[in-house]
Amino acid sequence: MAIYTLDDKRTSILLIGGSRHTAEMAIRLRDHEIPFTIFLSFDDAHMFAFGDSPALPPYLIPFSSSIVTSIADVTIPPDIIMDCQPLAAELKVPLIHEVIEEFPLAIILCSTLACTATEIMHYIQDSHNVIGFGFLPGHTGSASIIELSKALNASELALNKIEQVMNATGYTCEVVEDRVGLVMPRILATLMNEAAFAVLENIATKEDIDAAMKTGVNYPHGLLEWADTIGLDTVLSMLDALYAEYRQERYRPCILFRQYVRARWIGKAGGKGFYTYASGYA
């Protein structure tokens, strides 16, 4: 594949949504000197998480100079609209609709942990090419490989463009079939779910389960601490989507995930999950 050289006048990225997933991708783009803008809608729930009036959550404050809250303030039409949030398609589409009418030539690069690229393209009536990617917070930010998937109606040219841009951010790309959760995230979420059931059923302590996975099969992290790092809300979103798609018992989320997320025990980002942490930023 040809080496891709970023040209500010030719390529621009618009990140959408105010989640911590957006912030983590912004760090990756900033560290690779790739210009970007973050668009936040006033309807974004993250902006109201810290009071009654709109306010930036702490994880977005470092990027305040790159944030706009009006499409009219996006000075350079983006070539890529990037959505890193691991949400079901129907939750993503309103924000995507808010921006795509203004940028008819943009490619949509969309997290497909809880939906498929083809599903997003269906919702927007094939008006834009959609490429899916497996962005896992707490993992993909430091990873060297990222999975991409092409919506069935998207063009190969759009996929090639996204591959080139991802290469520029330091990723090696693996193109996989357009399925909910892609490959590695799907397998990892299933293993984390099984580990959570082991805790629920008092088979072993969370510490012993994590130690067994690290020393027994040489995993880089224990499954439960890994779930805390990715975010229990993200893992739950993947499992819910997989269960809805396949109706297989192995994807039925352990109730611990749902209860912990209800309590805002989402892992490291919130200060508590399966383990307790000194601080969080959710």
What distances in angstroms separate CA 196 from CA 191, 204, 224, 267, 274, one per listed residue?
9, 10, 7, 13, 9
For residue 280, give the amino acid letter: G
What distances in angstroms separate CA 141 from CA 27, 85, 98, 135, 219, one per listed residue?
8, 14, 27, 8, 18
Sheet (strand 80-83) strand order: 67-68, 36-39, 13-16, 80-83, 107-111, 130-133, 145-150, 172-175
What pLDDT, on a 0 to 100 scale, did the predictor assign at position 143?
A: 77
Which domains does the chain possess? 13-175 (3.40.50.720), 184-270 (1.10.1040.50)
In angstroms, rounded to a whole number, what is the distance separating the alpha carbons of residues 228 and 138? 9
Q: Which of 153, 116, 151 is nearest to 134 (CA)?
A: 116
Token pair listed for 220:
């880089």
Rg (CA), the chain: 19
Query: Is 151 within 8 Å of 126 (Cβ atoms)?
Result: no
DSSP structure string for 74-112: --S--SEEEE-----HHHHHHHHHHHHTT-TTPEEEEE-
What pLDDT, on a 0 to 100 scale, did the predictor assign at position 279?
A: 66
In angstroms, rounded to a whole number, what is the distance separating the alpha carbons of residues 149 and 112? 8
CA angle (169 as vertex; 88, 231 as ends), nearest 5: 40
For residue 80, give the amino acid letter: I
CA angle (138 as vertex; 210, 123 as ends), nearest 5: 120
Count helices and strands (H / E) in the chain: 9, 8
What pLDDT, on a 0 to 100 scale, did the predictor assign at position 46?
A: 61
Strand 130-133 and strand 145-150: pairing?
A: antiparallel
What distances in angstroms separate CA 30 from CA 170, 173, 235, 240, one per listed residue?
12, 19, 26, 32
Token pair listed for 165:
């841009």
Instruction: Please count the residues of the chain.
Output: 282
What pLDDT, on a 0 to 100 scale, did the predictor assign at position 75?
A: 87
DSSP structure string for 225-240: HHHHHH-HHHHHHHHH
Task: Kindly provide the residue ranges of all beta strands, DSSP E only, lying in 65-218, ordered along the sequence.
Answer: 67-68, 80-83, 107-111, 130-133, 145-150, 172-175
Token pair listed for 68:
């706009």
In angstroms, rounded to a whole number, what is the distance separating the alpha carbons of residues 154 and 161? 12
In angstroms, rounded to a whole number, what is the distance separating the alpha carbons of residues 252 and 168? 37
One pLDDT digit (tens) per residue for the chain, 282 residues? 233 344 444 578 999 999 999 999 999 999 998 999 999 987 765 655 555 556 788 899 999 999 999 999 998 899 999 999 999 999 999 999 999 999 999 999 999 999 999 999 999 999 999 999 998 887 766 678 999 999 999 999 999 999 999 999 999 999 999 999 999 999 999 999 999 999 999 999 999 999 999 999 998 899 999 999 999 999 999 999 999 999 999 999 999 999 999 999 999 999 999 999 986 554
What pLDDT, on a 0 to 100 scale, did the predictor assign at position 57?
A: 86
